[in-house]
A = this chain, B = another copy of it.
């Protein structure tokens, strides 16, 4: 199967898993469930589910288990978008080509949608049997919680907020992104791998190194896209980093150097995967896709 066919298949099964695992819109409270489904379904690159499935390939993880883990991580990602779009944060009206959740419904509902999506993520990863060793699964839940929390994604967003209009150093920018985007990207890779046959500690550390690079890479490319792409291609408001005077890799390094940085990170990430040979080919291709995507 070529990469694009594989990717399409995983995106499709990720959408189907979300559809199946989200509460139906006819269950009370209906409006909340409708809004949760509105925010979660019908779009999205599903980069994190793709990473989980590709990482699961390395250790022969069962696709059905990967669906659960991937859905949990994607729900955390989606909740963060819903809250991030709120007027008190980025105040954005467009997401994945549709009105944002608080525009389509209302602010209070969007707030509760985010809250409930986070709870649902932890419900799913805790209530399905994912690995034979329950102790290991508890560690997986804790990994997701750390990635989402104040020293992970939510913390990264807090640093991002404080940085608007500030001159950050490259080091400070990376400190932020390792948390804001990187923590969940890393969790997607590691939780995918945890669903399969346990890796040796050195292999696990190698994969973790790759996952951290992939997180940074994703953000560098995101900054480049935000600076270059149009709103229509992006499906969200483009150029808003510059408009909000937010520090980005592009604003700090300039576009050519940011592109060089992306190329360097890609090469280093590929190197990190070499130890896994053919089994990491999806992860290898996905890394390329992250760099070469135009959305």
Interface residues of A (CB under 8 A from B): 23, 27-29, 31-33, 36, 79-80, 83, 86, 88-89, 106-109, 111-112, 114-116, 118-120, 122-123, 126-127, 133-135, 137-139, 141-142, 144-146, 148-152, 154-155, 157-159, 161-162, 175
- Chain B residues whose CB sits within 8 angstroms of the CB of A154 once the complex forms: 32, 112, 115-116, 119
Q: Which residue of B lies closest to A27 (CB)?
A: B151
Complex CA gap A118/B36 in Å reads 18
CB–CB A158/B118 < 8 A? no
Assuming the contacts A23-B151, A31-B162, asked whether A111 and B138 have C-beta atoms less than 8 A apart, the reply is: no
A112 close to B158 (CB less than 8 A)? yes
Of the candidates B88, B134, B146, the one whose C-beta lies within 8 Å of that of A137 is: B134
Contact A141/B126 with A118-B119, A155-B29 known, Cβ cut-off 8 Å: yes
List the number of copies, as a whole number.
2
Whether the pair A162, B29 counts as a contact (CB closer than 8 A) is yes
Q: How long is the Cα–Cα vector from A115 to B32 in the complex, in angstroms?
A: 18
Q: Determine which residue in A79, A109, A133, A142 has the highest number of CB atoms from chain B within 10 A of its CB, and name it.
A: A142
In contact, A116 and B150 (Cβ under 8 angstroms)? yes
Whether the Cβ atoms of A155 and B115 lie closer than 8 Å is no
User: Smallest CB-CB separation from A88: which chain B residue?
Assistant: B107
Question: By the criterion CB–CB under 8 Å, are B146 and A109 in contact?
Answer: no
Dominant SS at the A interface? helix
Question: Could you tell me the distance in whole angstroms from the C-beta of A78 to the nearest C-beta in chain B?
Answer: 13
What are the residues of chain B within 8 A of A106 when measuring CB–CB?
A: 88
Q: A127-B138, A134-B134, A138-B141 are in contact. Are A158 and B89 (CB under 8 A)?
A: no
Please measure, in the bound complex, the distance between the C-alpha atom of A171 and the C-alpha atom of B138, giving whole angstroms: 38
Cα distance, A24 to B29, chains bound together (Å): 37
- Please indicate the chain B residues that have their CB under 8 angstroms from the CB of A23 in the complex: 150-151
B122 and A108 contact, CB distance less than 8 A: no
Least CB distance, A105 to chain B, in whole angstroms: 10
Bound form: Cα–Cα A27–B151 in Å: 9
| Complexed CA–CA distance, A177 and B126 (Å) | 26
**Are B158 and A32 in contact, CB atoms less than 8 angstroms apart?**
yes
Alpha-carbon distance A150/B33, docked complex (angstroms) = 7
Q: Are A118 and B116 in contact (CB under 8 A)?
A: no
Question: CA–CA, A293 to B137, complex, Å?
Answer: 41
* 11 A/B residue pairs, CB under 8 Å, sorted by A: A28-B175, A31-B162, A32-B155, A32-B158, A86-B88, A112-B150, A116-B149, A120-B145, A126-B138, A126-B139, A127-B139
CB-CB nearest in chain B for A141: B126
- Whether A155 contacts B123 in the complex (CB less than 8 A), given A108-B161, A111-B89, A138-B137, comes out as no
Residues of B near A33 (CB, < 8 A) are 150
